[in-house]
Structure 1
Amino acid sequence: MEKRRVAVRTLVETVMLSGSLSAMASSARLLDGIRGHQALQAVALDGARNEVSVSGTVSSEHIELTVYGRIDRLYGDSRVEEIKTTYLESERLLSGDPQHWAQAKCYAFLFCETAGLAQIDVSLTYFHLDTGEITTLTESYAVEQLGAFYALLTERYLHLLETEYVHERALREDVRQMAFPYPAFREGQHALAAQVYYAIREKSALLAQAPTGTGKTMAVLFPALKALADGHAAKIFYLTARTTQQEAAVNAAKLIHAPHLRAVVITAKEKMCVHDQPICREGDCPRAEGYYDRLGDALAEMNRLDGVFTPDVIRAYAAKHFLCPFELSLDLSLSCDLIICDYNYAFDPRVRLQRFFTTGRNGFVLLIDEAHNLPDRARSMYSAALSLADVTQTRRSIPKQQRKTPLYRALKRLETAFSAQFEGFDVPLSVTEPPEALTRAVEGALDQLSADSIPADRALARQLTFDLSSFRFVMDLYDARYRTLYQGGKTTRTITLFCTDASGKLAEIYKKCRSEILFSATLSPFVFYRDLSGVKAETPFLALPSPFPPENLAVYHLSLDTRFAAREATLRAVTESIRAFVSARRRGNYLVFAPSHAYLAKLSALLREMLPEVTFLEQSPKMDDAARAEFLAQFLPDATGITLGLAVMGGVFAEGIDLPAERLCGAVVVGVGLPQVCLERDVLRDAFEESYQSGFRYAYQYPGMSKVLQAAGRIIRTETDRGALLLIDTRYSLSDYRGLLPPHWKVERVRHKEELAGKVSAFWNESNA
């Protein structure tokens, strides 16, 4: 029989779904709840014991289930007490919450079974966090009554596990018979797939660099599913840095012939919500009211199906059953084999999928796509910023007649405490101490903002609540790898709790999983990504060669100074070089990658003046998914003229997009991608110099060159693609930068635009011969 374990609380919450969605409690309130619970347990009473462990085992046809938990307080052999903290008034607690009673009754039954008791008293005690009032409800039960109730819950849970068991066996049979979905592996693809399977089987990690065109997605997902079928994984998470990268995983999952594979794509709440502002609680969203009463029917219907549940599919079922589509995707994920989602849902402590990542080692496999993004993304997840302007704007949104309310006073106190932090400082400034004096004011404002009814603007209050919760949460994480940044003028002041290195936080998540596979086209230098991604020092690194003939990509280097101080002086020369590069063929689609939006705008103006016959596409700072799709749709094969796309290095069009064959024939990269010099980057430089003795390289050079390689990787996507790349910057002549370029690139240095035009023309003439 297959052995499973479930906590009493999880058992109850799974089989007794009912009621409405509620907004997530703030971290301050969650902390208050823990403290309140502990305070009540700390009261010494004769014969009372706290946190008494109990367990029991039940079985079905294929499953042996151990139910376990801890009794909050046990009074001899006579009474079991379950303690809950609350903000509800005592009159609303007259009968107690059914789920709370269920937990208490399960603990009571398990204790009676162990102690051989015929009956016992069961108490449900509520501790009011604001007033300190204690409300205790007590009922007496015979063990037969408790046993019947317990059997009802465990039978329902075992039924779910049996359904899951049948699905798992069917999927395993599918995958064992599953053939690779292409006629043959590409060069390097089989080696990558073998290493991925080995790492999962051995419960280890892998860093894999596979050049664009290797077929990384399939080479990683296919062996992961094989490992799942062989019992080496409980669930697979395919994690991406951008929504655009999820499409490749969805397509691969659909292409793999495994009829019983069940996959779900989890998309951000803001994108899934049917309202302009997602506020998930009764009274604000009708879909939140009675959500759990309707959820069971929706899940029962969806769990009879297999395949990939995309956001559109989830929205359709959510509409049918009048449910929140985002919450439905989360609840559906529990019964899925493959979960495709953003990094946030595994790593960010504020939005992490608690249902998966709060327990101990869980058998999950993390497939981390475009893993070169992980260090920066992880740092942002464990950082938090607070703006004085946001506090002031929220306070001023309170109507004048309500400016004596507790919320108004709390926000005013927060503003005063915030401004006091800047006294005696010359900003911008970085310090190693947290702003402890702000804590009380932050918690006071949070308490008032968390009230059911507030007089401030809802959208402003909601954002400020999130910011304050994040700030308070990160304050508790503050350690030697944090700095406090003070920035801005008198009305634009911000305080940032800045995480300089999140590798330790990532390592804690990895400990809960079976295996982590980090893969990208750009994971060099290996030591840099190993240090900052949280994997163990002994983690192997697999670097695959390009699967395509090196002569298919012509790489040219033109030495023009594009450093910030020289950009104005060389702008026209850069523009003329781009004109020479794209005009040498007279037709085709090209991308030009600029170091910033400001530079891109100047480049665009000059290029449009020089090339009036060219069709221009330009990335704007805030493009939504539809605008991005429209941008890429203009890159058509068999172009008769020239289409020139202008984009920012490191942006949405520089990685994770696929424009094979004639949809893209060339790219220009202006600069070496270094991040803009700022306080944050300088703080990182100093911290990395102290930790790794590589301050400038880790903070500026390596992240910058990763952007260059990602942008260049858009050109050659298949075995038959041919294309040209132009690198513009003096620094490509330096060994420190040239040594970071792929070894298979044959870089030709050109002295001026005329020589460039001649060489590019010759390359295309040779291609057409």
Structure 2
Amino acid sequence: MENENKVVRISVRSLVEFILREGDIDNRVSGSMDRDAMLMGGRLHRKIQRRMGPEYHAEVSLKIQIPCGDFTLQIEGRADGIIEKEENGHREVTVDEIKGVLRDLRHVESPVGVHLAQAKCYAYIYAVQHDLGEIGVQMTYCNLDTEEIKRFLVPFQVKELEEWFDDLVRRYRKWAEFEMEWKKKRDLSIRTVEFPFPYRKGQRDVAAAVYRTILRKKKLFIQAPTGVGKTISTVFPAVKAVGEGLGDKIFYLTAKTITRTVAEQAFRTLKEQGLSMKTITLTAKEKLCFCGETTCNPDDCPYAKGHFDRVNDAVFDLITGTDEFSRQVIEAQAQKYRVCPFELALDVSVWSDAVICDYNYVFDPTAHLKRFFSEGAGGEYIFLIDEAHNLVERGREMYSAVLYKEDFLDLKRAVKGASPSLARSLDGVNRLFLALKKECENYVVLDSVSHIALKLMNLLSVMESFMEEQSDPDLREKVRDLYFQVRSFVNIHDIMDENYVIYCELEENGMFRLKLFCVNPAVNLQNYLEYGTGTVFFSATLLPIHYYRKLLSVETDDYAIYAESSFPPENRLILQGRDVSTKYTLRGTEMYRKIADYIARAVRTKKGNYMAFFPSYRVMEEVCEQFSLICEEYPGLAETVVQSQNMGEPEREAFLARFDEERENSLVGFCVMGGIFSEGIDLAEDRLIGAVIVGTGIPQVCNDREIMKQYFDGRDMPGFEYAYLYPGMNKVLQSAGRVIRTEQDKGMILLLDERFLRRQYRELFPREWENCRTCNAVTMETYMEEFWK
């Protein structure tokens, strides 16, 4: 929806899905009637359209403008087909709406209400523009697997369509009026907002670069050291750009919950100056659910029953009553109207000016917000992507797909008695996997798995029919779990290009898997970024910038800036131990003792809180054991707190709380690099005075990494650097970034691995590390004493 010259725009699809929805939320219905359910639906659309002959006009753009007092409502969309026939001087016109489905067409007994409503809108707009008295509406349902077609043809008098359409517009009008009034108020308030703090060094340059990027509809990469104030420096110019009509909605995207609170605070700070802006933070369904378990159906959840009958009233009441939609506000409103809090939040996001959320709400092909990022949607979105270094690995995960042979075999055994036909289909897939397994000792790179994708398409149809007819909820649940995995695999197979590697692998535990591995996610990310008008990637660790540009963007003319650090260099001591290593060949008790000695000497030289980061739990535990032995020799030297695997939120909070306590001696937190404590945590001032980074962070050698290395080597790009070195150094820089949080902080960073002396590593040090000195355990103490004086 967009406000321009007092025009409010909405797509036909958004209009009917919003105004005409009704009934329950029910996840037991697999949802494949949705046009977005399968990506290959588009190809089938085109195939059907091509078969239809010269009377058929495909993909006809339509729009209608309706005067509504102070503004004009523009309803627009694209009809799949218009069929025009001339018989005996009589002109017959039919609007065709095509829907690809996986259901057996026997179960499609009549058109789905919103599908028919969409076609009726196109029919009315076309009839008005061509002065017709009657028009036909044809719903074409096509099974995506068998390509079987079932059609429903309904003739309409245009007068009848007009009454129906006018009622639809009348019901939407109050929403459009609200939008017009609100945007007027919002834009006026933005004009008076100023940058809320005195500009720090580098901050004004960042803010100006962000504004310029949005103005020119470009992408910007910002490497900004900790303490620059990245969040407010990106949020403020983006808000200003909205006020200038350069964008309509801000998406502030993060990888971790903790960084969302910083974004919320930035908007709050601007609101204290009188900014009127509706902001929402989207929380995961599991966290919001009132029922403990997210079984979203009317039998198990009272909030799912009749949800769509009540939700629009809940949304309108909320958006006209408040501007900040916190989790507490959403939950209270959901209780009041007895609707699902998660779905309510998604609906409220449509009417919000800024949405703070995880990457997956924008980029994930299975979880993205269809109301913003699907055919017929889109707007002038501004993307602010925080901690953007995380998006490379997250992108790979989102656009890759994996299936295990064992899952098909297990399900075949479970359904054998209930459905021989489903068992046969599962067995057919299992046999194809078995043939691959016989040829595979470790892993095998494959040219194509199209024959498997075709078999999986057939399986999806059979599973769909089974879920339609099966009454046993446990069995249906088992089938549905694999159904979604298979559907994701088929969807990913459909978008595969030269950025993918297909391989099968026999895991150490004997499990056999087939993977569609997205090595470079840039093209897939671009498909979603195209919905926006400007994109800003920012992080304290975006080095080397060419690596991130290659894997996050397809453009060659993106902007990039290196923000100056506002941090006084004399407040940071950077040392590198030259006589220790975490290389596999050198690991052992003697080396672990040496590393523990460095940590003990640092702690003895200056009492305070330290964090030591390790390449793995194994190395961490070995060094921790040696450190404990040293502490026995020197009673009262330090207390320790150790990260454990699979820590929940309470354990995490308890770990960090130890850094707030007053104590007589020092505290050393033993952590894993790249883990939950190596980024996104804020221990300012003397809560943390030192970070010890043990090892270069290089990921363990595994098939994924080796395939990645070969992929980039094969394209004349540095494979080792792309697969191992850059991701490893990112973990090092993230861990080091825990120490310096504010301009008042003072702290030391100790790098423990002789490999940091090598040129390829030192070239990746940020500018602020220019004064890094090498040392051994003894000279380290001298450097520290001087520094802490």
TM-score norm. by structure 2 comes to 0.89
Tell me the residue number matched to 1:699.
723
Tell me the residue number matched to 1:300.
316
**Which residues of 2 match residues 191-590 of structure 1 at below 5 A?**
191-257=205-271, 258-275=274-291, 277-283=293-299, 285-359=301-375, 362-398=379-415, 401-402=417-418, 404-431=419-446, 433-450=447-464, 451-452=467-468, 453=470, 460-489=478-507, 491-559=510-578, 560-568=580-588, 569-586=590-607, 588-590=608-610
Distance 1:448 1:120, change over 3 A: closer
| Offset, 1:566 | 1.7
- Residue 94 of structure 2 aligns with an amino acid whose one-letter code is V
Equivalent residue in structure 2 for 1:134, among 121, 140, 150:
150
2:167 counterpart SS class: helix
Tell me the residue number matched to 1:74.
83
| Offset, 1:457 | 5.0
**Which residues of 2 match residues 178-189 of structure 1 at below 5 A?**
178-182=193-197, 184-189=198-203
Task: Give yes or no for the alignment of 1:109 onto 2:124.
Answer: yes
Contact 1:434 1:475 in 2 (8 A): no
The C-alpha deviation readout for 1:13-36, integer Å capped at 9, x for no partner, is: 222221233446359963676577
1:655 counterpart SS class: coil
Tell me the residue number matched to 2:88.
none
1:601 counterpart SS class: helix
- Residue 717 of structure 2 aligns with an amino acid whose one-letter code is Q
Contact 1:206 1:518 in 2 (8 A): yes
Distance 1:664 1:46, change over 3 A: closer
Looking at structure 2, the residues matched to 204 and 15 of structure 1 have their Cα atoms a distance apart, in angstroms, of: 35
Contact 1:261 1:337 in 2 (8 A): yes
Contact 1:670 1:728 in 2 (8 A): yes
- Residue 706 of structure 1 aligns with an amino acid whose one-letter code is N
Distance 1:594 1:449, change over 3 A: farther
The C-alpha deviation readout for 1:442-472, integer Å capped at 9, x for no partner, is: 2343334442337555665444233212211
Contact 1:589 1:639 in 2 (8 A): no
| Offset, 1:293 | 0.7
Looking at structure 1, the residues matched to 456 and 630 of structure 2 have their Cα atoms a distance apart, in angstroms, of: 55
**Which residues of 2 match residues 25-36 of structure 1 at below 5 A?**
25=31, 30=38
- Residue 603 of structure 1 aligns with an amino acid whose one-letter code is V
Note the aligned Cα RMSD (angstroms): 2.8
Contact 1:261 1:306 in 2 (8 A): no
Equivalent residue in structure 1 for 2:697, among 649, 673, 698:
673
Tell me the residue number matched to 2:64.
56
**Which residues of 2 match residues 728-739 of structure 1 at below 5 A?**
728-739=752-763
Distance 1:407 1:314, change over 3 A: farther
Distance 1:293 1:428, change over 3 A: same
| Offset, 1:372 | 1.5
Distance 1:636 1:462, change over 3 A: farther
Gapped runs of 5+ residues in structure 1?
A: none
| Offset, 1:289 | 3.0
Looking at structure 2, the residues matched to 733 and 101 of structure 1 have their Cα atoms a distance apart, in angstroms, of: 68
Identity of aligned residues (%): 33
Tell me the residue number matched to 2:773.
748
| Offset, 1:607 | 2.6
Comparing 235-244 and 308-317, the one that deviates more: 308-317
2:535 counterpart SS class: strand
- Residue 561 of structure 1 aligns with an amino acid whose one-letter code is S
| Offset, 1:137 | 5.2
- Residue 289 of structure 2 aligns with an amino acid whose one-letter code is C
The C-alpha deviation readout for 1:275-304, integer Å capped at 9, x for no partner, is: 455344454544333221111121012112
Distance 1:696 1:416, change over 3 A: same
2:75 counterpart SS class: strand
Contact 2:83 2:93 in 1 (8 A): yes
Contact 1:315 1:325 in 2 (8 A): yes
2:407 counterpart SS class: helix
Tell me the residue number matched to 1:11.
15
- Residue 601 of structure 1 aligns with an amino acid whose one-letter code is E
Looking at structure 2, the residues matched to 596 and 459 of structure 1 have their Cα atoms a distance apart, in angstroms, of: 37
2:189 counterpart SS class: helix
1:744 counterpart SS class: helix
Comparing 701-710 and 98-107, the one that deviates more: 98-107
Distance 1:555 1:323, change over 3 A: same
Tell me the residue number matched to 1:647.
671
| Offset, 1:84 | 5.4
Tell me the residue number matched to 1:624.
648
2:372 counterpart SS class: helix
Looking at structure 1, the residues matched to 478 and 404 of structure 2 have their Cα atoms a distance apart, in angstroms, of: 12
Contact 1:388 1:493 in 2 (8 A): yes
Comparing 648-657 and 566-575, the one that deviates more: 566-575
Contact 1:394 1:457 in 2 (8 A): no
Distance 1:620 1:313, change over 3 A: farther
Looking at structure 2, the residues matched to 442 and 128 of structure 1 have their Cα atoms a distance apart, in angstroms, of: 14
TM-score norm. by structure 1 comes to 0.91
2:371 counterpart SS class: helix
Contact 2:282 2:357 in 1 (8 A): yes
1:80 counterpart SS class: strand
Distance 1:73 1:305, change over 3 A: same
| Offset, 1:240 | 0.9
Equivalent residue in structure 1 for 2:615, among 595, 600, 608:
595
**Which residues of 2 match residues 751-766 of structure 1 at below 5 A?**
751=776, 753-764=777-788, 766=789
Distance 1:583 1:252, change over 3 A: same
| Offset, 1:553 | 1.2
Looking at structure 2, the residues matched to 313 and 348 of structure 1 have their Cα atoms a distance apart, in angstroms, of: 27
